[in-house]
Structure 1
Amino acid sequence: MLKRSLRTPTGIVPAGLAVVAVTYGLARYGFGLYLPQLREEFGITSGTAGSIAAGSYLAYCLTALLARRWVGRDRARAALWLAGGTAAAGSAVVATASSAAVLAAGVLVAGSGAGAATPALVTAVTATVRPAAESRAQAVVNSGTGAGVVAGGLLMLSVPGHWRWAWAGFAVLALAATRAADRRSTWPSAVRRGDAARAPLRSLTRPLVAAVLGGAGCAGVWTFGRELLTGDGGLSDVVTGVLWCVLGAAGLAGGLSGDLVARAGLRRAWAGAATVAAAAVLLLAVAPGSPVGAGLALAGFGGAFVVLSGVLLAWGAQRVPAAAPQAAAVLFVGLTVGQAAGALVLGAVADAAGTPASFFGSAALLVAAATAAEPRRAVRPATPAATPGGRRR
């Protein structure tokens, strides 16, 4: 039976944030950041780019489902290394890609790593930090996506013509961050085999629907955001690099999602974040050539996206308190399935009617996601949350 560590969250939180930063912000979303250069290098169309992004998202789902199974079998540490290892391997393949097919394979593997990161880190944080600090620690670690996006933008600004070296750096960072998180975690040695082994899908129906819709709506910015700014907006690489940093910096504010849920509740937090994201996508669609307008749009989107994912963590923990890591894996798979479907559909729309038209579709999907928020009379879990070792709070 696991006993909670008396460690403060200062060790695992920055290390976990770094893992999320490199697996999500760099290895997964770096494809969208470097899409203009990749299109020029390999001659890929918007439809092909959407297909590559969708394949990466689906690979993420497979990895997340595998990690969900491992976490339920005392193998959260192995799931963490699966996250860092696949992110590193895929990034290395992208860095050395000689054709569009090899590039696609690398993007697929690199993007899959993030799928194992969330359930592994939810387990690590739950087992390592004090109960009173856990909610905030989970939200801060989850905000690492924003830190990774900022790092990617700064890297592109520093060495704009050297995308291969950038991806090689992603591979090194993935391994370093994973090692740091591993060393700073207290891993469960025993898990209750019943409730903690599986997150009942029936309990997660509403948040799962919300996650799919939200993911589909967010796919436009992550896949085609920079393409819209450089192509339709005519903005320079320097300007779009700065704007990408704005997006990531705003995402860091999503680390407050735990406090937001505590104060506003799940329903308001989800609906509000989805509405802000929809408004941001619309603004980006109508003003891609305005640095100020695009900056406001990307700031709103970056903060809203990380809040949405943070709310999903809290939502899953509320619905299935004895299996929070497994619930997180299920809901993040839903978010990613939505992103995969969104990338495919929006890529086809962009080829047929232009990239701005696909962003109007993204906004509509986010409005639909907002309506899927928890109802006012949401049922609270009947039992208090449990640690991975079965200890009630």
Structure 2
Amino acid sequence: MQTITRIASAGSAATAVAFGPARIGFGLFLPQFREAFSISTGTAGMISSLSFATFFLALGCSYKLIARAGPRVPIVVGMIAAALGLSAVAAAPNMIVLAVGICLASASAGFSWSPFNNAAQRVLYEGERPGALSVISSGTAIGVLLAGLLALSLAFFGYGWRIVWAVFAAAAVGAALANLTALSDTVEPAGDAPPRKWRELLTRSAIPLYLVAFSFGMTNGVYVTFVAARVTEQGGLDGLPSHASGAIVFAAYGAFGLLGLLTARVKSVIGLSWLLRALNIAAALSIAIIAWAPTSWSGVIISAGLQGIFVMMISAVLSLWSERLFPDLSSLSFTAALLITGAGNIAGPAIGGLAASTVGDVAMFLGAATLALATALVLKPGIIREKASTMTAA
């Protein structure tokens, strides 16, 4: 098998597991978890925030592991974490074990996000990298779509949710073995970036990048944690069992997320600033629709589709934007943007769960929608520059 095909296939499998069931599985199955473990909205928010905290910590560990052992190690470690976490959820006897499993599985996304850029740079020709990385990134949408379809199958075949999580765990084992073999040429350490290079990321022109990353983390963290529960608690979609309705959300989320492969083309037509504004407006609409019309088939599918497009495209935009700002530090600046996204992921569900317990679900979702809309309004044309100017003295 050619190197590009081997790496792209294994990478797509890893991202499908890490950003599919390992990352969104808790929100997808929250209605079932609430029934099995009597989880309140506030507790659900805290579990989700803790899982995003492990994602945040794993991002930092991944950077260190790439520097000291090459990209294969963090990817395989991430898949092992996913397998262990997903298995723990499948066998969880109580809420504590469930939370530990969710957190361990979520760490896999942090371990697996950035190493593929490094791996592609090491072993693929320059002309091969964009195509390979597009295939790898598409694994996210595919993983979410398949997780949603498996969750939907519960309503039609009658088996329990634990069986689905056992299937998720088996997929993680397969992805670990695939990447262990596929990335055999990427075992050399990359070396740590000196502290001076990290300081170079503290620039005025980078502030919009960091604000957008944090807003993205907060709003999407709220959406993926609470959307399935919102639809289910309001009675679900007509013609489906209420628990199956949340699965429709994530199936549509993943299916429409495949349009993220068009990010580069859309950016070339309307520019980076306008693309960012459009994506944040789409995110605001997506969240507001769930607040206002959680039982409408068209509303739920439009909401999930907009959110899927938002997530997939803005993830690619953060990479493009960080590279434009810091062409000599593209990998490091993208890692910084991911860390700030992770911080938003931690804050969003915790604040959202508290808000829902205090003022209700509708106010929580509308608050998240307002944040996304405010982000769009702040992003005036021309705010994104080609190269950042430093905030601190060199």
Partner of 2:68: 73
SS state at 2:295 partner: coil
In the other structure, the counterpart of 1:33 is 28
Aligned equivalent of 1:259, options 265, 269, 272: 265
Residues 148 and 196 (structure 1), Cα distance of their counterparts in 2 relative to 1, 3 Å cut: farther
Q: Which moved more, 1:303-312 or 1:119-128?
A: 119-128
SS of 2:333's partner is: helix
- Pairing 1:120–2:115 present: yes
C-alpha separation in 1, matches of 2:275 and 2:166: 37
Shift in CA distance, 188/314, structure 1 to aligned 2, threshold 3 Å: farther
In structure 1, runs of 5+ residues without a counterpart are 1-6, 383-393
Matched to 1:82, the amino acid is: V
The yes-or-no answer on 1:187 pairing with 2:193 is no
TM-score normalised by L of structure 1: 0.88
Q: Percent identity?
A: 30
User: For the residues of structure 1 that align with 2:139 and 2:196, how far apart are their CA atoms?
Assistant: 27
SS for the counterpart of 1:30 is helix
C-alpha separation between the residues in 1 aligned to 2:322 and 2:353? 30
Report if the CA contact (8 A) 2:70-2:189 is conserved. Answer: no
Q: Which residue, 297, 302, 310 being the options, matches 1:291?
A: 297
Aligned to 2:252: 246
Contact 1:239 1:291 in 2 (8 A): no
Kindly state the Cα deviation for residue 355 of structure 1 after the two structures are TM-superposed. Answer: 1.6
What is the aligned partner in structure 2 of residue 82 from structure 1? 77
Match of 1:388 in 2: none
Following the alignment from structure 2 to structure 1, what is the Cα–Cα distance between the partners of residues 374 and 112?
Answer: 28
Deviations 1:339-374 (A, max 9, x none): 211101111111222222211011111123324548
Match of 2:9 among 11, 14, 24: 14
Deviates more, 1:252-261 or 1:296-305: 252-261
1:147 Cα deviation after fit: 0.9
TM alignment of 1:1-393, pairs within 5 A: 9-160=4-155, 161-185=159-183, 186-187=185-186, 189=188, 191=190, 199=198, 200-203=200-203, 204-235=206-237, 236-371=242-377, 373=379, 376=382, 378-381=384-387
Q: Deviations over 1:77-98 (max 9, x none)?
A: 1111121111111111111111
- Report the equivalent of 1:387: none
Change (3 A) 1:377 1:361: closer
Q: Which runs of 5 or more structure 2 residues have no equivalent in the other structure?
A: 389-394
- Across the aligned residues of Structure 1 and Structure 2, the Cα RMSD in angstroms comes to 2.5
- 8 Å contact kept, 1:136–1:255: no
Q: Contact 1:72/1:197 (CA < 8 Å) preserved in 2? A: no
Deviation of residue 306 (structure 1)? 1.0
- Look up the SS of the partner of 2:64 in the other structure: helix
Deviations 1:198-233 (A, max 9, x none): 554315443122101111111222000111111125
How high is the TM-score relative to the length of structure 2?
0.88
CA distance in 2, matches of 1:34, 1:195: 42
Retained in 2: the 8 A contact 1:214–1:369?
Answer: no
The answer to whether the Cα contact below 8 Å between 2:231 and 2:245 also exists between their aligned partners in 1 is no
CA 1:193–1:105 in structure 2 vs 1: closer, same or farther (change >3 Å)? closer
Alpha-carbon distance in structure 2 between the residues aligned to 1:108 and 1:333: 17
Say if 1:151 and 1:245, in contact at 8 Å, map to a contact too: yes
Q: Is the 8 A contact 1:15 1:181 kept in 2?
A: yes
Distance 1:248 1:381, change over 3 A: same
Return 247-256 or 31-40, whichever deviates more: 247-256
